[in-house]
Amino acid sequence: HLPIAVGVDLPEAVEQAHAAGIRVVAADVDGTDFLASRDLLAEPTAWLFGNEARGLEEDALSHADLSLRLPIYGKAESLNLATAASVCLYETAFAQRSALA
């Protein structure tokens, strides 16, 4: 497991994740539909989440292996960051547990 740290150099953190065999996924409104990519989450995965209002900056997105978006139904434009992160992390844990079964 990689430690969680605030203020670390993103390229260095991504390099460490890759060296540990971890895929880096960005949560992004313009990403691929999350539901179509669930199988990818069965592998070790680290997530990048951006600012609630603006999302991830292009520089941060460029370091991710792929970008995924949560589909939103109805009139809401997006989920708040805490909710979106919870869904992404839960689905990742579920996919990884299912892969072990």
What pLDDT does 77 receive? 74
Q: Going from the N-terminus, what domains does the chain have, and what CATH number goes with each?
A: 10-100 (3.40.1280.10)
What pLDDT does 28 receive? 92
What pLDDT does 48 receive? 94
What pLDDT does 1 receive? 52
Cβ atoms of 63 and 10 within 8 Å: the answer is: yes
The closest alpha carbon to 30, from 1, 3, 50, belongs to 50
pTM of the model: 0.86
Longest Cα–Cα distance of the chain, Å, equals 41
Per-position pLDDT tens, the chain of length 101: 555 556 678 999 999 999 999 999 999 989 999 888 888 999 999 999 988 888 889 999 999 999 999 888 888 777 888 999 999 999 999 999 988 87
Q: What does the alpha-carbon distance between residue 44 and residue 33 come to, in Å, rounded to a whole number?
A: 19
3-class DSSP string for the chain: CCCCCCCCCHHHHHHHHHHCCCEEEEEEEEEEEHHHHHHHHHCCEEEECCECCCECCHHHHHHCCEEEECCCCCCCCCCCHHHHHHHHHHHHHHHHHHHHC
What pLDDT does 37 receive? 84
